[in-house]
Structure 1
Amino acid sequence: MTDLTDKVAIVTGASRGIGRAITLLLAMQGAKVVAVARTAEELEELNAKTQGLAIPADVADEDDAAHIVAETLSHFGRLDILVCNAGVGSFNLLEHFDAAEWDRIFDVNVKGTFLLCKAVVPHFKAQGSGHIVGITSDVSKRTFEHGTAYGASKFAQDALLSSLRKEVRPHGVKVSTIYPGLVDTYFNDSRPGSLDAEKTHLKPSDVAQAVRYVLEAPAHVVVDELMLHPMTQEW
């Protein structure tokens, strides 16, 4: 298995929920984690636990994305892992969506993934190694009522990562995609910890363990896709 000790990892959407759980778990495994989110106060509190690097940033801003990678390389001198976890969602009938909300969902879920990948791929290719992990959703594989915007963004994010996997594999770079079902987080203004969620939702730590699994797989093993099922909490 791949040892994560001293590996340098960027995790986006790190201040809460899945991103926070991934950040804490990777730090526990000895990785040096760069936590990225828009909320500086929450990032600093998290960074106090991990002793990594906190970078307040908007993943959908091209200058911010380039800054995240440049600051990571300047601080640690290397970069091994990118976890594209930042995501937003909103659910409504299509005719009730306005263009600004549609753009916000695509900016974070798709453009944010694109910009961070664009910033790290040249570095990963040059060093002949690196691992990108995308946290998409099980709705990358299915559709549902009221899910036009979110579902379309997750289909697009999944296609982006799948295509990128084929581009970078010859250069020794891995791309893995994780598809969680319902997760007990603050997503879409939810409040974690409800009784129903405990029965029907994954925990953020379940997704974090899936990320650890794909990252620790031996170098010759490629895990392209990993689906997590909330009802059984199995993957």
Structure 2
Amino acid sequence: MSGGLKGQVAVVTGSGSGIGAAITHSFLDAGASVLATGRRAEKLGRLGEHQSLITLVGDVTEPDFADRLLSRALDAFGRCDIVVNNAGVMWSGAAHEIDIEHVVAMVRVNIEAAFRVAHVFVRHFFTQNTGQIINISSVLGTKVRPNTGTYSATKYAVEALSESMRLELADTNVKVTCIEPGLVITDLHDHFAIHPKDALGLKQPLRPEDIANIVLTVATQPDHVFVPKVMVLPKHNAI
């Protein structure tokens, strides 16, 4: 969709790898200017150089980081039209067995950081009376499986945030979309003892580019078209 976002400015969190990196590249290819952020400079460096790309290294859970993101986008590009709340972490385990520090990390990144980014950017979008926030949730934000309860809880929170913002902003020109991917092959699962694709028996999980294509489709809809929610599953994935 070359040129579909020409003149627009997007901020993408969790851009260092996986879905975030794929979204960053797809937005750049569509003509957008992008501020990509992540915790590790070396991963952001792998995005390569592009005249319309800038990066900001930092932790989205820091109290002032969302404000810094918005300020950086406005300083560099003079505007901001889209924010993709993509940063996330995942650990699995039964509620009585999972490392509590992993639970804390998921709550901080998946919930707190998502809320902080939404709080800052939606206020900006509301003031300028235009904008789009795209929250990356999960199919596990709609259905709980054994050993995924804590992760699912964080994604249910993202679903609730998305729905509440959609209702609160219904009379404005601010769009809110929640994307619910099924299993995507990323480094999110590298520490799992058994990879989810094997546990689920999936021969062909989704690729980050599959989700990026969906996000780009949502982001390039005309003003009168609003997409509140999209679930994306690999073939043969029964839920």
What is the TM-score of this pair, normalised by structure 1? Answer: 0.92
Of 196, 213, 216, which aligns to 1:212?
216
Deviation sequence 1:14-56 (CA, Å, 0-9, x none): 0101100000010000000110100112212315146411001
1:225 maps onto 2:229 in alignment: yes
Total equivalences in the alignment: 231
| Cα distance, 1:231–1:190 mapped onto 2, change above 3 Å | farther
Partner residue in 1 for 2:118: 117
Partner residue in 2 for 1:181: 182
Q: Alignment partner of 1:107: what SS?
A: helix
Q: Alignment partner of 1:71: what SS?
A: helix
The answer to whether the 8 Å contact 1:24/1:50 transfers is no
- Work out the CA distance in 1 between the residues paired with 2:45 and 2:184: 24
> Could you list the runs of 5+ residues in structure 1 that have no partner in the other structure?
none
Letter in 2 for 1:89: M
Letter in 2 for 1:214: V
Q: Is the helix fraction higher in 1 or 2?
A: 1
> Could you list the runs of 5+ residues in structure 2 that have no partner in the other structure?
none
- Work out the CA distance in 2 between the residues paired with 1:47 and 1:165: 35
Letter in 2 for 1:83: V
- Work out the CA distance in 1 between the residues paired with 2:52 and 2:236: 34
Q: Alignment partner of 2:218: what SS?
A: helix
The answer to whether the 8 Å contact 2:15/2:44 transfers is yes
Superposed, 1:148-159 pairs within 5 Å as 148-159=149-160
Superposed, 1:138-177 pairs within 5 Å as 138-177=139-178
Letter in 2 for 1:40: A
1:72 maps onto 2:76 in alignment: no
Q: What is the CA distance between 1:232 and its match in structure 2?
A: 5.6
- Work out the CA distance in 2 between the residues paired with 1:25 and 1:74: 23
Deviation sequence 1:174-229 (CA, Å, 0-9, x none): 000110000011113269xxx97982310111000000111111111110110101
What is the TM-score of this pair, normalised by structure 2? Answer: 0.90
**Sequence identity of aligned pairs in percent?**
36
| Cα distance, 1:93–1:198 mapped onto 2, change above 3 Å | closer
